Structure formats: structure tokens, C-alpha cells
Amino acid sequence: MKLDHILHGGDYNPDQWIATPEIWDEDMRLMKQAGINAATVGIFSWSLLEPEEGKYEFGWLDAVFDKLYKNGQSVILATPSGARPPWMAQKYPEVLRVEETGIRNEYGVRHNHCLTSPVYREKVREINRRLAERYGKHPALLLWHVSNEYSGACHCELCQRAFRAWLKKEYRNDLNELNERWWNGFWSHRFTDWEQISSPKSRGENHVPALKLCWDRFVTDSHISFFENEIAPLRELTPDIPVTTNMMGFYDEINYQRFAGHVDVVSYDAYPPYDAADNKKTAAQFGFTYDAYRSMGGGGPFLLMESTPSVVNWRPVNKLPRPGRAAQAGLQAVAHGSDSVQYFQWRKSRGGHEKFHGAVVDHDGRGDHRVFLETAALGEKLKRLAPVAGSLCPAKVAVVYDWENARAVRHYNGLNNEYRDYLAECLKWYTPFFDRGFTVDVIGQEADLSPYALVIAPYLYMLLPGTAGRIRRYVENGGAFVATYLFGVADKDDRVFLGGLPGDGLREVFGVTARETDSLPEGVHGLMKYRGRTYRTARTCDILRSDGAAVLGVYTSDFYAGSPAVTVNRFGKGAAYTAAAGSEDEFTGHFCEDLIRKLKLKPEAGIETPPGVYARARGEYVFLMNFTDDRVSVKTGGGYLDLLSGGPAPETLALPVCGVAVLKKPDAPE
Ligand code: GAL
């Protein structure tokens, strides 16, 4: 999707204000005032679009489309499958979801639908077809927003049947192969009939990791096939209108890295807890997430589809972020590759579950509210950032965060059962690069590694077929690859590789064998020495044997004192590192610094910043963001153009709290 400006807007629910059309007019006035250029409509509008089965009412949406168009806003049109009208559940109970208890839900809430139900799929196709027929040619239509935050699973009989069909395909109709790959000799679980298999349940089978992995994969595929069903009429009638569906960070019940291949543009709903948690950690965590979304979409821009202009309503305590923070948070997404700052929501609803969720327009309905004024000020800035739209963020460093691995790590039993936070582990290795102004891609294990000088794969427990070969070739061809503990332990069905770890031929590449794994309870630490310094170890430590790798660090405590903890193996033209000890930030920081030096990596941002001030390069622009609690000065070295002021940026730039500057690089053509 190519944009020549940054989208600024969000979820707009005029259907909640259908009885007060004067509010619609006021919305138009206020949207202009706030610099809003895109409105997402119709997300939960089904009961108004089809109040009775087969009786459609589009008059209100026609009016909304026309008003927005005349007012200068593009429309992001949602399909309404995220919530359905009560009549549908009453007439066709099969559209409702069956939980893992086996009990069918009653009507209510949202996202409460069966993913397989032919009736529901047909109803969704039909309403989507009508939307496409009616609005496909409307000049305001910019993008399809399919459903809303797909999530969950259904365990009804239709879904069980579909799951068995999925398994038959996966295991080539061979139950023996399934039994072998699931290791069903254990506890006498060999199946003799496909009908004996059903979804994992707390009152049924929940101790077979391979079953759980297959169910996860099936659920992902069900969402994708539900999505493909939704978009069939959109593709047919509006082939030029791109399609997205909004995703939720690292929600792991759907493999987003797979799903991303089915959308035209990846979009993400971000709600960073700034000012309610450690801001530096939050900045790194959301930087990581944005980088994952950009990478998922193949490196092109993604869309920030939802964010809050003030508070959310779903945290235990919903602290107001300080003035200026929401704008800074939106600009952070842009710095990492978003071509939009979209909000949930334009106007606070008067009643219902989300009436205290932040919105651009509060219940007072006024344009002089603090939140409104800040949004409008951001709207002005985003206009000036139009040249940034579409620009890319090529990276030399990648961190592997892999959805399949996330699930595998969740399902196995043993070793350290108390602590196995895969995401935190990845973040720990990402942060030293984030802090130093590097652009980092966050990729799955099936991604192409060749663009990178350095790839770090923390806690990559599961190797899918092909991964080991890709790592081997990458290192052979000159890449630097860092693995940590519990690397290459299990295959796609969670069977442990035999003959020594890491498996699948990687011992040769890394020049080590992981002989044993020690697990330390929270608060208990061991010690290791690396380049003359002693560091604490924690949580999970692999005890290595070098089979030829150079030993860079050793354990210095416990019975395995003297065993390798950090190694490097020259292999082909590259280097394969193993950092086998569960480490703390201090070691990770120093180790990454050494890698940066050794590989002569240069931060793309090119401007050094004090701690808590982050620099990010995007195309020919550099974003500087102050997440500290003080005013700071940053030495730019001069020659930059300040895109927000339009003038030259001073050599020493002052950034207030929450301040963001966007500079054009000196060597970039005007
Ligand atoms: C999102 C959802 C929105 C709204 C928002 C509140 O997850 O898509 O509809 O509920 O959360 O933060």
C-alpha cells in the first residue's frame, strides 16, 4: 500500500449516534480541526446494516461516507464479523463458539463465533459482498479493515471434524506417522482411529505437546481460511483496494508471521503503558513490537491501526499518561515504520463497556479539551511528516522472534517450569541495539537471513524443517549468528533431536555440544567469567562441551565451574556464537558491544543519544525521542534539516520531556 501522507484518524462509530445526527456534523467539524484524514467505520455495525435477516439498511452508512468524503477524510471500511446481531445467534446457534469445556456460549460480547460454521461463513460473505458492491467505487474508500482482532478458537463438532481433516493432511493420512511423531507410545496413547483425536482440553488430552502445537497451527489456519472467506467478495469486486486485519502484538494463539502473508498491509493495535511502567523498558518493548510488525510485512510500512490518545479502560488501574506522551508514542510507531497514527477511538461512547476508554473527543464533546488539543497538534506535525510516508528501514541486525517457537516453549514440561519468558529473552538481546540507535529487524525462523550481518536467536528451542540448513548456509557465507541456551532442542512435533544438541546438524556449525541444562530458581544466581569480568547467571544455563569452538567465557561456580558458557566457532566464512548461560542485562550489553565492535556495525541513526533518548533512522530521516523525565540536549553534529520546524536543526538540539524531533540527514537530497 503506497501512501503519500501519514494517516491520522481512528475508529469512528457514528452508528452509536444515529439518533443525534447533529453529533455527526460536529464530528466533521472537529475532525477537520484535529487534522484527521482517515476514519475507520463499521467495525461493529452489523445489527444496523442488517437489522433483520436479509433486510439491509445502508442509508446511514451512505450518509457517513458522503460526509467524510466532503470533509476530506478517507474511509477505512471494516467488515462487521467481529460481532453479530442477536437475531443471527437466535436463528442459527451454530454461529456461536463452543469453549474447550464443550459447552456452547450464549449470545454476547464479541469475537464469539465459530470459525468453521458454514452458516456464519456464508453470512459474512454475503454482508461483505454487499458492502463491496455498495462502497467499492466510492472515492473515499481507502482500505478494507477485515473484522477486528481475530482471536480465540472454537471446539464445536464442526471444528473437531475440520481439525481431524487438517491432521490427515498434515500426516498424509497416516495415523502411524502421527503416532510416531507425537510419540504416542508414551502412556499408551496410540490412536487407531482418527475419530479418537480431538482438540486439547483441560478435561481431556492436554499432556501431548505435539497435539497442542497441531491445534495451534490448525487454529491459525482456521483464522486464515475464515479471513480468505471474508475477503473473497472484496477481492472480486474491489481488486484495487488493499486489505488488512488489525493484530495484537505478540498474541500467540494466531501465528501472525504466517497470517501476515495473507494481508496487503500489516496493521497493529498498540497500547504501550507509558507513565504507568518503566518508560525506557516500554519504549524498547514497543520498539521491538513495531520492528516485528514492519518485518512481518516484508520490511515495508505497517499501519498503527489503534492506539489511545489518552487512557485505556482495561488495565487494573488506568493511569493518565503525561501531556505529550500520546503524541510521542504515535511518533515512535512512525519512526519504526508505521505510515499511520490511528486511535481507538474518535469519540467516547456514552454507554456500554468502553465508555471510559480514552478518545479524541471526550464526553464534553469539546474541541478545547487537553486530549483533543494534543491530538490536533500531532495532526499538524503529521502533515509535515508526509515525506516520511513509504520510507523504509533497512537493517543489518536481526533478532529472531518466532511464533512457532513461542508456542513450543509454552507447551513443553520440565527444566525451568517457573521462568521461560521467550519474549523477555528476545527483548533482552534486542535492547542493546535499540539503545544504540540500530535498526533491527525482528524476524521468524523461516525468514531469509542473507540481508543481515548479525542474527541473534535467543532461546530458539524448536527448529522447523529447513531452519538448520538456513543457519548453516548463512554462517558459511560469512554471517554472524548468536544462539543462546536451549537452542535447537526439538523438531516441529516437539521431539527432541537425538545424538546431542543443538540438533539437526548444528553441532558442527557451532562447534559445541550442550551436555546438560541447569535451572536456577528466581533470585538464585551462578557466576561466569567473560573477557576478564565476572557476571551473574540466572534461570537457565546450558553446560557446553567445546568440540572445536573457541571458549570466550566459562562458568565459575557450581560443579560445572570451568565448563564453557560462551563460545565462538569459525565456520565457513562466518562465526557461530553460543551464549549458553541465562544472563542478565549487563552481560548481554557487553557481549553485544563486543559484537558491534568486531563486526564493525554502525548504528543507522548515526546520532549518539543519552540514555532514555532514542534515535531511529527511517529512510533519509532520523527520529529523536526523549523518554526521560528531563529536558535533554542531543549533539547532532549539524547539517540536518528539522522537518517539524522546517528550518535547519541546531548542532545541539534541546528535547523537552516527551519531545520528538525528526531530522533529514545532511547527505539526503532536498
Ligand atoms: C482493542 C479493540 C477495540 C477496543 C480497544 C480498547 O483491542 O480492537 O475495539 O476494544 O481494544 O483498548
Split into its structural domains, the chain has a count of 4
Ligand 1 close to Cβ of residue 357 (< 6 A): yes
Ligand 1 centroid distance, CA of 344 (Å):
7
Q: What is the DSSP letter of 482?
A: E
Q: Are residues 371 and 490 in the same domain?
A: no
Single out the residue in 358, 388, 418 at which a domain terminates.
388
Alpha-carbon distance 269 to 575, whole Å? 38
Interacting residues of 531 by C-beta distance below 8 A, sequence separation 6+: 552, 553, 590, 594
Q: Which three cell numbers stand for residue 346?
A: 474518535
Give one DSSP letter per residue of 546-576, joined into a string. Answer: ESSPEEEEEE-SSTTTTSEEEEEEEETTEEE
Query: Contact 575/569 with Cβ under 8 angstroms?
Result: yes
Alpha-carbon distance 403 to 254, whole Å? 8
Cβ burial 293-328 (10 Å sphere, 16+ → b, else e): bbbbbebbbbbbbbbbbbbbeeeeebeebeebbbbb
pLDDT for the residue numbered 666: 86
- 3-state class of 535 per DSSP? strand
Q: How many CB atoms lie within 10 A of CB 396?
A: 18
Q: Which residues pair with 527 in a beta bridge?
A: 536
Ligand 1 close to Cβ of residue 401 (< 6 A): no
pLDDT for the residue numbered 569: 98
Burial class (CB in 10 A: 0-12, 13-18, 19+), 354: middle
Q: Which three cell numbers stand for residue 311?
A: 487512557
Does residue 604 form part of some domain? no
Q: Are residues 530 and 580 in the same domain?
A: yes
- Report CA-CA distances (Å) from 464 to 190, 470, 475, 492: 24, 11, 18, 5
**Protein residue with least CA distance to atom 1, ligand 1:** 269
Closest ligand 1 atom, residue 149 Cα: 8
- Report CA-CA distances (Å) from 564 to 534, 559, 575: 14, 13, 17
Ligand 1 close to Cβ of residue 344 (< 6 A): yes
Does residue 606 form part of some domain? no
Q: Are residues 86 and 226 in the same domain?
A: yes
Single out the residue in 210, 235, 252 at which a domain terminates.
210
Ligand 1 centroid distance, CA of 54 (Å):
29
Q: Are residues 136 and 168 in the same domain?
A: no
Pocket test for ligand 1, best of 269, 345, 349 (most atoms within 8 A of CB): 269
C-alpha closest to that of 365 among 3, 29, 7: 29
Q: Are residues 253 and 273 in the same domain?
A: yes
Q: Which residues pair with 577 in a beta bridge?
A: 482, 568
Q: Which residues pair with 481 in a beta bridge?
A: 455, 576
Pocket test for ligand 1, best of 344, 349, 356 (most atoms within 8 A of CB): 344
Query: Contact 196/510 with Cβ under 8 angstroms?
Result: no
Q: Are residues 140 and 287 in the same domain?
A: yes
Alpha-carbon distance 246 to 252, whole Å? 14
pLDDT for the residue numbered 321: 96
Each residue's pLDDT tens digit, 276-300: 999 999 999 999 999 999 999 999 9
Ligand 1 close to Cβ of residue 148 (< 6 A): yes
Ligand 1 centroid distance, CA of 335 (Å):
23
**Protein residue with least CA distance to atom 12, ligand 1:** 312
The C-alpha R_g of the chain, in whole angstroms, comes to: 26
Q: Are residues 100 and 33 in the same domain?
A: yes
pLDDT for the residue numbered 434: 98
Does residue 333 form part of some domain? yes
In the predicted model, residues of the chain with pLDDT beneath 70 are: 668-670
Q: Are residues 425 and 311 in the same domain?
A: no
Strands 7-12 and 340-343: parallel
Cβ burial 480-503 (10 Å sphere, 16+ → b, else e): bbbbbbbbbbbbbbbbebeeebbb
Query: Contact 624/661 with Cβ under 8 angstroms?
Result: yes
Query: Contact 651/638 with Cβ under 8 angstroms?
Result: yes
Query: Which residues are identified as catalytic?
Result: 149, 306
Ligand 1 centroid distance, CA of 307 (Å):
9
Q: Are residues 322 and 375 in the same domain?
A: yes
Q: For residue 642, give the H/E element and its range.
A: strand 641-642
**Protein residue with least CA distance to atom 11, ligand 1:** 344
Mark out the alpha helices in 447-567 (DSSP H runs): 467-476, 506-510
Ligand 1 centroid distance, CA of 376 (Å):
22
Interacting residues of 108 by C-beta distance below 8 A, sequence separation 6+: none
**Protein residue with least CA distance to atom 5, ligand 1:** 344
Q: Are residues 31 and 107 in the same domain?
A: yes
Does residue 524 form part of some domain? yes
Q: What share of the chain is helix, strand, coil (3-state, %, to 5)?
A: 35, 20, 45
Does residue 605 form part of some domain? no
Q: Which residues pair with 400 in a beta bridge?
A: 443
- Chain centre to alpha carbon of residue 225: 20
Q: What is the CATH number of the domain that holds 568?
A: 3.40.50.880
Ligand 1 close to Cβ of residue 149 (< 6 A): yes
Q: Are residues 436 and 568 in the same domain?
A: yes
Ligand 1 centroid distance, CA of 358 (Å):
11
Ligand 1 close to Cβ of residue 436 (< 6 A): no
Does residue 72 form part of some domain? yes
Q: Are residues 383 and 493 in the same domain?
A: no
Burial class (CB in 10 A: 0-12, 13-18, 19+), 192: exposed
Q: For residue 592, give the H/E element and its range.
A: helix 585-599
Does residue 1 form part of some domain? no
Closest ligand 1 atom, residue 110 Cα: 9
Single out the residue in 170, 193, 210 at which a domain terminates.
210
Ligand 1 close to Cβ of residue 312 (< 6 A): yes
Each residue's pLDDT tens digit, 372-389: 999 999 999 999 999 999
Ligand 1 close to Cβ of residue 306 (< 6 A): yes
The residue segments making up the domain with residue 184 are: 157-210
pLDDT for the residue numbered 668: 55
Ligand 1 centroid distance, CA of 357 (Å):
9
State the chain's maximal CA–CA distance in angstroms: 77
Does residue 669 form part of some domain? no
